[in-house]
Amino acid sequence: MNDRLTELYKGVAVHATANYEHTAALELLALVMAADHNLDEAEIEAIKDITDDWRDGDFTFDKYLGPAVERAQQAIADGEVVELIDDIDRRISSRVLRRALFSAAREVAGIDDDVSPEEGTILAEVAVRFG
């Protein structure tokens, strides 16, 4: 039933799909963070600050960050970064969230004042879809 509701509301930015979209956005930010194979505390804090206004009783940072990082790291290890970004792109329909994602991804990548080549490649893919 839950999958059916998600499918019905796909493409419609409503509260019913907010956690679904926020999970996808968190995966994107985790992908940027994991790109250089270093999970920096400053990057984690930046993601926490960026996602602060999304979080409520159902969407807690600690509950969703671990799985998002695991998914990002697996995509990197498997050479499936573009496929993960494509999947994230399909899951986010909110125009407001889509517009905010490139800036958020760039903020995470640059928080340590050094954008690695891997982060730059991901940012380029994000810019094409969300920039």
Average confidence score pLDDT of the chain: 84
Residue in 96, 100, 101 with CA at minimum distance from that of residue 85: 101
Predicted confidence at residue 57, as pLDDT, reads: 56
What are 93's two structure tokens?
């329909």
Say which range, 46-55, 57-66, 118-127, has the weakest mean pLDDT.
Answer: 57-66
The first and second tokens of residue 24, run together, are 């996808």
Single pTM value for the model: 0.83
Q: What is the mean pLDDT of residues 35-57?
A: 84
pLDDT confidence bin for 89, thresholds 50/70/90: very high
Which of 6, 13, 11, 32 has the alpha carbon at shortest distance from 85? Answer: 32
